[in-house]
Amino acid sequence: MPYGRQSINDRDVEAVVEALKSGWLTTGPQVEHFERDLASFCGTVHAVVVNSGTAALHAAAHAINIQEGDEVIVPAITFAATSNAVLYAGGTPVFADVNPDTLLIDLSDAESKVTPRTKAICAVDYAGQPCDYQGLRELADRHGLRLIADACHSIGASYRGRMSGSLADVSTFSFHPVKGITTGEGGALVTSHPEIAQSARQFRNHGIDTDHRLRARQGAHVYDQETLGFNYRLSDIQCALGRTQLARLPSFVYRRAELADRYHEALVTVDGVSPLTVLSDRVHAWHLYAVLLETERLGISRDEAFSRLRDMNIGVNVHYRPVYQHTYYRKRLGDLDGICPAAEAAYDRLLTLPLFPDMTAEDLDDVVYSLTRLGDPR
Ligand SMILES: *Cc1c(COP(=O)(O)O)cnc(C)c1O
């Protein structure tokens, strides 16, 4: 049993086949349709689809004009792509600690890390639970910062009645198979700022002012490359899949929440395994079901728990090691051990349990049963 997995039905398959037969494999109508669907789902004006969540973060950093010398505050517990995007743009990631109960960015620690060079703050909706966007907006406004949401975990979630994607100046999604919806590989940036959308659109197409389809429509061959961009385009085949997946997203989120509830109830009786805190003013997308192990009480380390569960065929995982502890970051930014104590302490106790829409209640009960045996002598 894996920790996460896509759900593909016949309608998804048909949509891909139709796209293959349509004559447009890329830069065609499915791209626009998927972008319109995404923006309307999130309640934003614009969506720009790209070929990964990482590309979306890179485009976001470019579009808000992160440059050499700029600092961007990011949480220590995230996928490295969040802070890598800051580096791609020439900026410097500055790591903020997380709240020990939710693993969401700690606003007072983040604020203490603001300097005259800080340009933006990038929040991460860890596990699918939106951060405190009201507090983040106030923090950003106090210091004149741009607010980015790495919402790669939280598509379909909401905060005080507003959808994930509409909570920051610019938000990014990933459509990797383990994420909320999938296009194989893929991602998107959503925003209501026209200049951010325009800049991202150009950035995903080499920095060129028009695309192939627009030129075909206008009967023109001339184009101008205004900035240095990339080929980050998402194909029509993938966008067709994205549209049927997006239509299924509410049912995915509903199913994930049902399974999460079952985990909460079952874990009450399991010694030494605690879920993260769920906050009441937001709807969680349940990308991950992460728990904290009381390793002293269980008498085993997280890594031992991990291998025992893997031996029992339970596909547990760990999300994430504090980013600055990776070799590349140590080489690039130096030894930062100790700067985010809550993140470092959580990392030693963190474990992600399997959770995906097609998981059955019996699968979940198997996971819980295996957890009850963790403290048993070998
Ligand atoms: C998955 C993920 C990404 C990167 O998405 P890809 O589509 O794999 O490039 C970035 N940030 C977070 C928090 C993620 O979980």
**Domain check: are 18 and 58 in the same one?**
yes
The answer to whether residue 89 is domain-embedded is yes
> Distance from the CA of 294 to the center of ligand 1, in angstroms?
28
Percent pLDDT > 90 in the chain is 94
Token output for 271? 């010694």
The answer to whether residue 5 is domain-embedded is no
Read off the CATH number of the domain in which 367 is found: 3.90.1150.10
Judge residue 115's burial from the number of C-beta atoms within 10 Å of its C-beta, 0-12 exposed, 13-18 middle, 19 or more buried.
Answer: exposed
pLDDT at residue 378 in the model = 64
**Domain check: are 129 and 212 in the same one?**
yes
> Distance from the CA of 154 to the center of ligand 1, in angstroms?
11
**Domain check: are 278 and 310 in the same one?**
yes
**Domain check: are 231 and 291 in the same one?**
no
DSSP conformation letters of 158-194 = EETTEETTSSSSEEEEE--TTSSS--SS-EEEEES-H
Given ligand 1 and candidates 176, 189, 318, which is best to mutate, with the most ligand atoms within 8 Å of its CB?
A: 176
Atom of ligand 1 at shortest distance to CA of 287? 15
Domain tally for the chain?
A: 2
Q: Within 6 Å (CB) of ligand 1, which residues are found?
A: 52-54, 78-79, 81-82, 124, 150, 152-153, 174, 176, 187
pLDDT band at 215; cut points 50, 70, 90: confident
Instruction: Among 206, 230, 247, give the residue marking a domain's end.
Output: 247
Read off the CATH number of the domain in which 86 is found: 3.40.640.10
The answer to whether residue 222 is domain-embedded is yes
Given ligand 1 and candidates 82, 86, 185, 204, which is best to mutate, with the most ligand atoms within 8 Å of its CB?
A: 82
The answer to whether residue 1 is domain-embedded is no
pLDDT at residue 148 in the model = 98
Instruction: Among 185, 216, 247, give the residue marking a domain's end.
Output: 247
Atom of ligand 1 at shortest distance to CA of 52? 7
Q: Note down the domain range covering 348.
A: 249-372
pLDDT at residue 214 in the model = 80
pLDDT at residue 213 in the model = 80
The answer to whether residue 293 is domain-embedded is yes
**Domain check: are 305 and 342 in the same one?**
yes
**Domain check: are 64 and 142 in the same one?**
yes
Atom of ligand 1 at shortest distance to CA of 185? 7
pLDDT at residue 222 in the model = 86
Q: What does the pLDDT look like over 229-266, one tens digit per residue?
A: 999 999 999 999 999 999 999 999 999 999 999 999 99
Q: Is 198 helix (H, G, I), strand (E, B) or coil?
A: helix
Judge contact between 181 and 229, C-beta under 8 A.
no
Given ligand 1 and candidates 54, 103, 320, which is best to mutate, with the most ligand atoms within 8 Å of its CB?
A: 54
The answer to whether residue 378 is domain-embedded is no
**Which residues are marked as active site?**
179
Q: Whose CA is nearest to atom 6 of ligand 1?
A: 53
Rounded to the nearest 5 degrees, what angle is found at the Cα of 87, between the Cα atoms of 234 and 31? 10
**Domain check: are 183 and 134 in the same one?**
yes
> Distance from the CA of 189 to the center of ligand 1, in angstroms?
12
Q: Whose CA is nearest to atom 10 of ligand 1?
A: 81
Instruction: Among 216, 231, 247, give the residue marking a domain's end.
Output: 247
> Distance from the CA of 220 to the center of ligand 1, in angstroms?
37
Q: What is the mean pLDDT of the chain?
A: 96
Q: What does the pLDDT look like over 320-366, one tens digit per residue?
A: 999 999 999 999 999 999 999 999 999 999 999 999 999 999 999 99
Judge contact between 1 and 353, C-beta under 8 A.
no
